[in-house]
Structure 1
Amino acid sequence: MSFHLARFILQFGISSRTASINSSSGYYHLLFNPNKRKFTATAIPTAQKSSKEELLVVVGGGAAGVYGAIRAKTLAPNLDVLVVEKGNPLSKVKISGGGRCNVTNGHCSDIKILAEQYPRGHREFKGSFFDMHGPADTMSWFTDHGVALKIEEDGRVFPTSNSSSSVIDCLLSEAKHRGVSLQNRKVVSSASVEAGGKFLLKLEKRTVSFVENVKADYLLIASGSSQQGHSLAAQLGHSIVDPVPSLFTFKIADSGLAELSGVTFPKVEVKLKLENILRNTPHLTQVGPMLVTHWGLSGPVILRLSAWGARDLFSSGYKGTLIVDFVPDLHIEDMKSILNRHKHKYAKQKALNSWPLGFSLTKRFWKYIVDREGLIGDALWASISNNSIVSIAHLLKHCAFEITGKGQYKDEFVTAGGVPLSEISLNTMESKKCARLFFAGEVLNVDGVTGGFNFQNAWSGGYIAGTSIGELAAEATLEEGIL
């Protein structure tokens, strides 16, 4: 089959901010921003076709793959770009954020703070990765392409339409406009490198017995956490860190807690204790909102903790102890004093119906604490002993829950594992083991906490890979034109 699309010639003039080039076949205009190293190019198509056909194959039609394909095609309109997707394109974008698509996070302008949102990748991402294409760049890109965005109080960025279709339609429309070819229901089942440096790829149709061989000049693997991408990477010389689940809820065997399903806590501190982890790991302590579910505990703070503890939880069989501080802004001695003052002020009231408002607890949860402490339901505050006061304070500061397993986080699935970051160059996303092989997104051993950070990794990686490929392809075209 042929992937011959309209051919363009793109020439770079980066010494000045704006360069115009006249040629016998048309007029070309190039914009250059020296601060961001970003190019925006528009060109009048020429009827003349290059004798050197170059092809980029992108494995994976998700956020990273489509974004990277668009970027490469924008910089090198002469390059044929084929995206191969085994399912429906941008399927994860569709379900993310409850169908709203959490595009990125708008509260992390500092690269070091942003990098800390990645349990795998926090050290490497403190370099130039997000400086080349960060959250602000992502928001600008979508806004410039017609998707109005909003930043919510917690920093999550969504389209103002509250529909992931706005993001999907934008990406697919831009891909079509640029001339990116998208084929779904196919898988790239094998990859090898020929003597001349081209990639020999085997494409198979998922529904019928159909195989075709394709030769590509560039290969971008952006297949997410699927085994397909890991297999191709291994075939091309890469090692793979075995993937394990990340971003999940905790199952808790506590009938009393199950009765609190739906209760939320704006701010708690949680610590994860595992038998196989004896050292004190700072990242296994997190602070944030928590939600009680009918199976256990969820919410941003639990999801962040599950991400940082993903590998340790996997090796422990998802068994451990969770220590929750329900009043993290108060010292335990202050809490004892507050409880004692409350006891004397409301001595004739039932302990079950009266509690310090400064603790910001719901009646349902206060009943849980009273029951767990073993107090009789109609006991008056006057009868509460000093020992019980100390015990209640300690329970609110160090409430232990036994983790019996992991749940799921809605329909979203994130893994820790993949191609090690040490095996690629983050400033180009090119493999250190195989020339013209690039990676982007979750196929790498990178995962972020909840809040738009996993998509930002996809946009950044896809953009950098697409830029690298596009510049190489444009340079090849320019050199051929000179010769």
Structure 2
Amino acid sequence: MSLPLARFVLPSRLFSEAATTGKRNGRLISTLKKRKFTSAATHRAQHKAGEEVLVVVGAGAAGVFGAIRAKTLAPNLNVVLIEKARPLAKVKVSGGGRCNVTNGHCVESMMLAENYPRGHKELKGAFFNTHGPVDTMTWFSDHGVELKTEDDGRVFPVSNSSSTIIDCLMSESTRLGVSLQTGKAVITASPTDGGKFLLGIEKRTPSSVEYVEADYLLIASGNGKQGYSLASQLGHLIVDPVPSLFTFKIEDPQLADLSGITFPKVKAKLKTESVQRNIPQLTQVGPVLVTHWGFSGPAILRLSAWGACVLSRTGYKGTLILDFTPDVHIEDVKSILTQHKNKFVKQKVANSYPTEFGLVKRFWKYILGRQGLLGDILWASISKDSLVSIAHMLKHCDFSVRGKSQYKDEFVTAGGVPLSEISLNTMESKIQSRLFFAGEVLNVDGITGGFNFQNAWSGGYIAGTSIGKQAVSAKLCEANSASNF
């Protein structure tokens, strides 16, 4: 399929693709390795003379939203989305297929920024003030999508289907005239003497590469190597990407028998040998789920996000300390246990336990097992020291973390293009003019709850606004110049 923009097919040649890496200032720099391609015949440019071109790399949330915004402001701008896989693939699977659009409880920018382990300092400026959660919800509502805010702040379409969000975005981009090209990947990018970008585009079968000139380039390719490679080719450093938002693998065979148990509220703290000082964010409170491999749930996922870089340096090893009664002081826990003992002296410890703790029987037996108190032991036989030990276990139960598991298909990374190399007011590169970034290709990642998508909507909107305004300004200058003749 022909691209609806100016392009050129060059003779067969050797060109570069991301391969070798080097270190500078603690950041990963991607360079290129040689690979040979052959050229194929194509049609000449199909766009109108003088029409400017925006190429968006990646048809995810940030890329599609940015393309829509740019085309809305500059209808004469030729906007082309290039996606090697399926458009809006992460939107499809997010929130268990419901799409967690944003977070409705964190609408004030300072509070909102605190939900981004990478970016919480930089995003406290104008970023969310320009386009925040309320703006996102208003945009979708104005485009026919009914939304609902759940008790924990997560915002979903009333339909409970991510297809509603996808259909809305794709319908709007089609209505505006945004061109979507799938099964292709932008693999090379270089600035031209005329202030444009020469892009090498590879089809799904790497037998040929077509070369396209673009006036503006928006890289919104998520956490894939493609975006990092293009950013490096255009002079940017890359913060070495590592996984974020994952569950913990725990070294405890008995824990597997508790799979499926959910604790509504647990205080979870992560300790590693590499971190001696107290980091507040490495303690999280919230629901925790026992899995057949360890622990999951919102509190664990938030903890993994804040500890992502630390854990990557330790080989994902550390100590997880869980407080299963975070709202009850340890002295009160001891008192409750003592009262229960005095009331049920003739009952077996394994069968009778305080309901105040909200524990299930299987987990109570697990705690007793770690204390060596299983069997036919009666409450009358439990010593004061044993009561203290049980209380301490409930408030300070430690587990050895020995790895991570990917959180379903909602894979998020920490790392990417440093925010210091981007103007967050415009999302334009400080190194290369007319080059823009949005979404997870940047060194920004949020915890669960709709924050990663909000980063995508905000970045895409700001980038699209900047590009649209530049394109309109260029058109006006062109018109004024023509009127002088």
Find the aligned partners of 1:328 and 1:344 in 2 and give their Cα distance: 24
The one of 315, 318, 322 aligned to 1:317: 315
1: CA distance, partners of 2:406 / 2:240:
19
Shift of 1:481: 2.1
Gaps of 5+ in 1: 6-48
Whole-angstrom CA distance in 2 between matches of 1:128 and 1:361? 45
Specify which of 414, 417, 432 is matched with residue 415 of structure 2: 417
- 1:459 counterpart residue number: 457
Q: Which residue of 2 aligns with 1:259?
A: 257
Structure 2 distance, partners of 1:193, 1:138, is 33
Task: Give deviations 1:46-67, integer Å, cap 9, x for gaps.
Answer: xxx9742100000001000000
Any gaps of 5 or more consecutive residues in structure 2? 7-46
Q: Is 2:79 the partner of 1:78? A: no
1:132 and 1:344 mapped to 2: Cα distance? 61
2:378 paired residue number:
380
Residue identity in the other structure for 1:260: L
Q: Which amino acid aligns with 2:268?
A: V
Match of 2:390 in 1: 392
Q: Is the 8 A contact 2:103 2:153 kept in 1?
A: yes
Cα distance, 1:472 vs. partner?
0.6
1:207 shift after superposition: 2.1
Q: Secondary structure at the match of 1:259?
A: helix
Give a deviation string over 1:182-229, Cα, whole Å, max 9, x none: 001101110001111111111110225121111111000000001010
Instruction: Indicate the residue corresponding to 1:52 in structure 2.
Output: 50
Shift of 1:102: 0.9
Query: Who is 2:4 aligned against?
Result: 3
Deviation at 1:393, TM superposition (A): 0.3
- The corresponding residue for 1:352 is 350
Specify the alignment match of 1:141 in structure 2. Answer: 139
Q: CA deviation at 1:79?
A: 0.2
| Alpha carbons of structure 1 residues 173 and 393: separation in structure 2 relative to 1, 3 Å | same
- The amino acid across from 1:3 in the alignment is P
TM-score, structure 2 normalization = 0.89
Q: CA deviation at 1:437?
A: 0.3
State the identity as a percent.
71
* Residues 1:215 and 2:213 aligned together: yes
Q: d(CA) in 1 for partners of 2:372 and 2:294?
A: 22
SS of the equivalent of 2:316 reads coil
Return the alpha-carbon distance in structure 1 between the equivalents of residues 100 and 155 of structure 2: 6
Alignment root-mean-square deviation, CA: 1.3
Aligned residue for 1:249, secondary structure, equals strand
2:192 matched to 1:191?
Answer: no
The aligned amino acid for 2:50 is K
Structure 1 residue 292, shift from structure 2 partner: 0.2
Report the Cα offset of residue 377 of structure 1.
2.3
Q: How does 1:29-428 map to 2 (within 5 A)?
A: 51-428=49-426
Question: C-alpha offsets along residues 95-142 of structure 1, whole Å, 9 cap, x if unaligned?
Answer: 111111111111102211110110000001111101110111111111
Mapped to 2, the partners of 1:201 and 1:111 lie a distance apart of 36
Q: Does 1:433 align with 2:431?
A: yes
Residue range with higher mean Cα deviation, 347-356 or 401-410? 347-356
Contact 2:365-2:374 within 8 A present in 1 as well: no
For the residues of structure 2 that align with 1:152 and 1:283, how far apart are their CA atoms?
Answer: 24
Mark the CA change 1:4 to 1:191 in structure 2 (over 3 Å): closer, same or farther. Answer: closer
Q: Give the Cα separation in 1 of the matches to 2:293 and 2:5.
A: 54
The number of residues matched between the two structures is 440
Residue identity in the other structure for 1:270: A
Aligned residue type for 1:52: G
Per-residue deviation at 1:386? 0.2
Q: Which amino acid counterpart does residue 109 of structure 1 have in structure 2?
A: V
Residue 350 of structure 1 and its aligned partner are, at CA, apart by 1.4
Q: In 1, are the aligned partners of 2:117 and 2:305 still within 8 Å (CA)?
A: yes
Q: Find the aligned partners of 1:348 and 1:474 in 2 and give their Cα distance.
A: 84
> Equivalents in 1 of 2:206, 2:192: separation in Å?
28
Q: Which sits farther off after the overlay, 64-73 or 342-351? A: 342-351
Q: Deviations over 1:309-360 (max 9, x none)?
A: 0011010001111011111111111111111111111112211122121111
- C-alpha deviation, 1:479, in angstroms: 2.1
C-alpha spacing 1:4/1:406, structure 2 compared with 1 (3 Å): closer
